[in-house]
Amino acid sequence: MIEVGLDDGVLSFDGRVVEGFGFGKHEARRVHISKIEKIDFKAAGKRFFLQIKASTSGRIDAQGKPDAATLAEVEAFVEAVRAAAPNLES
């Protein structure tokens, strides 16, 4: 289980399901890794933007300005999801 707590929400991944809680106006979202088609992740300085797009259940959007240690956790979270998702666009 990977969980990353951020100021605006929490990202979690248990090896099969990605969850995003909070993050502005978006309600909690759950996406199975087999439905993930695209992951957009950008980090500039201390700020990041993450969007996980699924074929059937919408998307998970997260962004923030975490400290360096938490940003490293977000990066590890993204890599774990990418490694597990079998249907990502190239």
CA-nearest of 12, 5, 14 to 60 is 12
How far apart (Å, rounded) are the C-alpha atoms in residues 68 and 4?
Answer: 13
For residue 25, the model assigns a pLDDT of: 67
CATH number of the domain that residue 22 is part of: 2.30.29.30
pTM of the model: 0.89
For residue 40, the model assigns a pLDDT of: 96
Structural domain includes residue 59 = yes
For residue 90, the model assigns a pLDDT of: 64
Structural domain includes residue 63 = yes
- Strands laid side by side in the 29-32 sheet: 2-5, 9-13, 17-22, 29-32
Q: Are strands 36-44 and 9-13 parallel, antiparallel or unpaired?
A: unpaired
Positions in the chain whose pLDDT score sits under 70 = 25-26, 57, 90
Supply the mean pLDDT for the chain: 90
Structural domain includes residue 90 = no
Q: Can you give the residue range of the structural domain that contains 37?
A: 2-84
Structural domain includes residue 19 = yes
Count up the domains in the chain and report the number.
1
Structural domain includes residue 89 = no
